[in-house]
């Protein structure tokens, strides 16, 4: 049996998916925020201690939230349960990917909601 490098790569992706059971991708994504900050989003982001970010700063690491956050009623909005939260309403409108919101909430609560 002959395994090409490409085949092995695919196996790696599939087995990683099954092992962790929650990853939709194993590839890091890089975002560049308007101020030039580059953010790397990896499926294993929580494994690297990013949870040490103060919770009030966490939303700033989600560029998808940023453009809506200013419209929240409270400027210390955690975008979880506050009334008139622009992030939540944009989430409901489908303008913020649910996946991103779930990972935000998961990091904020420091819990694995996929269990
Ligand atoms: Zn909010």
Give the CATH number for residue 52: 1.10.40.50
What is this structure's pTM?
0.52
Mean pLDDT, range 2-8, rounded to an integer: 41
CA of 57 to the centre of ligand 1 (A): 13
CA of 58 to the centre of ligand 1 (A): 12
CA of 69 to the centre of ligand 1 (A): 6
Counting the structural domains of the chain, the total is: 1
pLDDT of residue 40: 63
Q: How far is the C-alpha of 27 from the C-alpha of 25, rounded, in Å?
A: 6
- Its domain, for residue 23, covers 5-109
29-32 and 38-41 strand pairing: antiparallel
pLDDT digits (tens, 9 = 90+) for 68-106: 999 999 988 999 999 999 999 999 999 999 999 988 988
Does any domain span residue 24?
yes
Does any domain span residue 114?
no
- Minimal CA–CA distance to 85: which of 94, 106, 76? 76
pLDDT digits (tens, 9 = 90+) for 6-58: 433 344 444 444 444 444 444 556 666 677 766 666 555 444 444 566 778 88
CA of 56 to the centre of ligand 1 (A): 11
Burial of 91 per CB tally in 10 Å (0-12, 13-18, 19+) = buried
More confident residue, 95 or 61: 95
CA of 3 to the centre of ligand 1 (A): 49
CA of 64 to the centre of ligand 1 (A): 12
CA of 111 to the centre of ligand 1 (A): 20
């Amino acid at each position: 049996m002959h395994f090409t490098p490409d085949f092995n790569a695919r196996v790696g992706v599939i087995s990683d998916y099954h092992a962790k059971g929650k990853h939709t991708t194993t590839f890091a994504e890089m975002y560049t925020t308007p101020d030039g900050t580059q953010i790397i989003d990896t499926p294993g982001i929580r494994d690297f201690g990013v949870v040490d970010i103060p919770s009030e700063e966490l939303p700033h690491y989600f560029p998808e939230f940023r453009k809506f956050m200013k419209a929240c009623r409270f400027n210390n909005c955690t975008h979880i349960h506050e009334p008139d939260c622009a992030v939540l309403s944009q989430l409901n409108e489908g303008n913020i990917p649910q996946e991103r919101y779930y990972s935000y909430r998961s990091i904020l609560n420091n819990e694995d909601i996929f269990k």
